[in-house]
Amino acid sequence: MAGLFNRLSSLLYSTAATANPALQMAAKETVENAIQSNKIVIFSKSWCPHCKSAKGLILSEFASIKNEIKVSELDEMGDEGVKIQEYLLEKTGQRTVPNIFINNKHIGGNDALQKLNSEGKLQSLISVA
């Protein structure tokens, strides 16, 4: 079953963009610049319920720093979004969205974010730096 998933996954990501080194470099720069320039970065897909949950938590609890929060909707970015998701897999080992960074640190996805919040650790993590 895993083999089938991997083959299907590779087919989904085998677009003309995959072979474009300039687009690959641009994706890396986009990700790294976003992480360095913002307190919170969420790589998301607009239709994803887990992404909506993560964005809802962050935007409601931390509205006072909304100018330091970056949300990138990968499904609305065409080939660039595909390349960004590929780079995020390489960088973090995480294939899924949301893919969340706080203060330059990879947090993980929605489950990890919700857990940090329920344990009372999210506020202090965001307040650091």
Average pLDDT over the chain, rounded to an integer: 89
The pTM assigned to this predicted structure is 0.84
CB atoms < 10 A from the CB of 110, how many? 25
C-alpha gyration radius of the chain = 15
Alpha carbon separation from 49 to 14, 44, 84 (Å, rounded): 26, 10, 20
When pLDDT is cut at 50, 70 and 90, the band that residue 21 belongs to is: confident
Domain ranges, ordered by start, for the chain: 2-127
Cis peptide before 21 (omega within 30 of 0): no
Indicate the CATH number of 2-127 among 3.40.30.10, 3.40.50.170, 1.10.10.10, 3.90.1200.10.
3.40.30.10
Tens of pLDDT along 50-108? Answer: 999 999 999 999 999 999 999 999 999 999 999 999 999 999 999 999 999 999 999 99
